[in-house]
Amino acid sequence: MIETERLLLRRWTARDRAPFAALNGDAAVMRHMLRALTPLESDAMILRFEDRWQSDGVGFAVAERSADAAFVGMVGLSRLRLPELGPPIDGALEVGWRLAPAYWGRGYATEAARAWLGYGFDRLGMDEIVAITSAANLPSQAVMRRLGMRPDPARSFEHPALPPGDPLSPHLLFAIGRDAWPG
C-alpha cells in the first residue's frame, strides 16, 4: 500500500492475527490504553479496521519491516469516533500507531506516521490531521512533535470511555494543518 525507506504499510491478512494479539496483550504496550486485550478482542479490532477501510477509505494498517517482513505494529489514519465529544474532535482524521517493544526507539513510528500524513494531505486533500494520546504518554507526544504536530489545549479532553479521575482519562490532542506540512 505505502512503502517507506524501511517499512511496508499494508492491509491486514490472517498471518497478522497472532503478532497483533501479542502486541495488544503486552502490558508495556498497553500501559497507556484502557487495558490489555485478549486474542479474540484483537481479532475483533482487525475486523473493525477492515470495516473502516470499507466505510472511510482509510484505516489502521500493518507496519511490516521491508527487510524481513517482521510485524512491527500498526500505523494508519482513522476517523475519530467520539460522539460524546462532538465536533471538532468527533470525525477528525487521526494518525495513530502502536508498535511492538522490540521496535521502539528506532524511528519506525515517526517514519510510518509521516508517510500516512503525506497520504492524508497529498492524496486525500485533508486540511488537518490530528493525533490523540493520554497526557501521561510522553513517548507518543515526542513522536507527534517530531512530525511537526502541535498540542491544541482547547481540544484536550477527558476520555469518555474512562471514569472521571482515572489517571489515563486526561487526553491531549495534537494537530498539524496542510499549511504546516512540509510534504
Per-residue pLDDT of the chain (183 residues; tens, 9 = 90+): 899 999 999 999 999 999 999 999 999 999 999 899 999 999 999 999 999 999 999 999 999 999 999 999 999 999 999 888 888 888 999 999 999 999 999 999 999 999 999 999 999 999 999 999 999 999 999 999 999 999 999 999 999 988 889 999 999 999 999 999 987
Burial profile 14-41: b = 16 or more Cβ within 10 angstroms, e = fewer: eebeebbbebbeeeebeebeeebbeeee
**All cell numbers assigned to 155:** 481540544
CATH dotted code for 2-180: 3.40.630.30
Q: Are 108 and 72 in contact (CB under 8 A)?
A: yes
Q: What is the DSSP letter of 6?
A: S
Q: Are strands 170-177 and 60-65 parallel, antiparallel or unpaired?
A: unpaired
* pLDDT value for 1: 87
Report CA-CA distances (Å) from 105 to 32, 109, 110, 143, 182: 17, 9, 10, 10, 23
Domain assignments of the chain as residue spans, ordered by start:
2-180
Q: Are 97 and 73 in contact (CB under 8 A)?
A: yes
Q: Using alpha carbons, select from 80, 85, 109 the residue that is nearest to residue 97.
A: 109
Q: What are phi and psi of 27, to 5 degrees?
A: -60, -40
Q: Using alpha carbons, select from 28, 59, 64, 65 the residue that is nearest to residue 46.
A: 59
Residue 25: which residues within 8 A CB-CB, separation 6 or more?
A: 36, 37, 38, 39, 42
- C-alpha 11/C-alpha 135 separation (Å) is 30
What pTM did the predictor assign? 0.95
- Angle, vertex CA 175, rays to CA 171 and CA 180, nearest 5: 160
